[in-house]
């Protein structure tokens, strides 16, 4: 009976080694896909905001009732520029780890902002992809939960890139930042 189990053990032990052999080939492509996905999200969010009038950009930030009035304009106008810059760095694969860390920090701030609004009973449109301001109270909890879960998903992607920044089609490779 023990002889019958031995080949199965041998095959099981061989599989992880084979999988480990493919990982160096697969991982950079997975990170490339993660870079592209996060860049698309940040790019769409930034573009939606930057193409709005500054008054709407400020309204979205002011609706959170967190920042002093003097910072509302700076954040309202600067946030979409930051999102577009991070999207560009991720698309190019330049300073990938830094772009992922900045994206993760930005997502943590977004999540904290949504939690804060929800905890204080405010009903706003998050303004994540443009718009912003007051929103209907109906479905407020479900809406905020969806936004938090969505941003947590994006945070996981940013974390992946931060931990495993080596990717294909990246300028980092040209500068020797991540040897492939």
The pLDDT of residue 17 is 62
* CB-based contacts of 87, cutoff 8 Å, min separation 6: 38, 39, 40, 42, 43, 46
pLDDT band at 175 (very low <50, low <70, confident <90, very high): confident
* Residue 2 burial (CB count, 10 A): 6
What is the structure's pLDDT at 180? Answer: 46
Helix 2-50 to helix 69-92 angle, to the nearest 10 degrees?
Answer: 130
Q: What angle do CA 152, 144, 81 make, to 5 degrees?
A: 65
Q: What is the reported pTM?
A: 0.85
Q: Is 44 left (phi over 0), alpha (psi -120 to 50) or beta?
A: alpha
**In angstroms, rounded to a whole number, what is the distance separating the alpha carbons of residues 134 and 121?**
12
14 — pLDDT class (breaks 50, 70, 90):
low
Neighbours of 118 (CB within 10 A): 18
Q: Provide, rounded to the nearest whole percent, the portion of the chain with pLDDT above 90.
A: 74
Distance CA 129, CA 147 (A): 11
Segment 52-92, tens digit of pLDDT = 999 999 999 999 999 999 999 999 999 999 999 999 999 99
Distance CA 123, CA 139 (A): 10
List the domain boundaries for the chain.
Answer: 27-174
On the question of pLDDT at 2 being above 90, the answer is: no
pLDDT (tens digit, 9 = 90+) per residue, 143-154? Answer: 999 999 999 999
What pLDDT score was predicted for residue 176?
Answer: 80
* DSSP character string of 80-92: HHHHHHHHHHHHH
pLDDT tier at 10, thresholds 50, 70, 90: low
d(C-alpha 133, C-alpha 149), whole Å: 21
């Amino acid at each position: 009976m023990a002889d019958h189990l031995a080949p199965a053990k041998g095959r099981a032990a061989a599989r992880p080694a084979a999988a480990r052999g493919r990982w160096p080939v697969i991982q950079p492509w997975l990170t490339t896909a993660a870079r592209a996905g996060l860049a698309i999200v940040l790019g769409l969010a930034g573009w939606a905001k930057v193409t709005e009038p500054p008054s709407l950009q400020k309204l979205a930030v002011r609706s959170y009732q967190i920042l002093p009035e003097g910072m509302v304009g700076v954040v309202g106008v600067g946030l979409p520029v930051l999102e577009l810059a991070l999207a560009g760095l991720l698309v190019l694969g330049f300073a990938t780890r830094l772009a992922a860390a900045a994206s993760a920090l930005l997502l943590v701030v977004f999540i904290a902002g949504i939690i804060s609004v929800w905890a204080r009973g405010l009903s706003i449109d998050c303004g994540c992809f443009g718009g912003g301001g007051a929103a209907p109270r109906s479905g407020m909890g479900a809406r905020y939960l969806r936004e938090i879960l969505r941003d947590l998903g994006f945070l996981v992607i940013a974390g992946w890139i931060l931990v495993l920044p080596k990717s294909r089609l990246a300028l980092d490779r040209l500068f020797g930042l991540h040897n492939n």
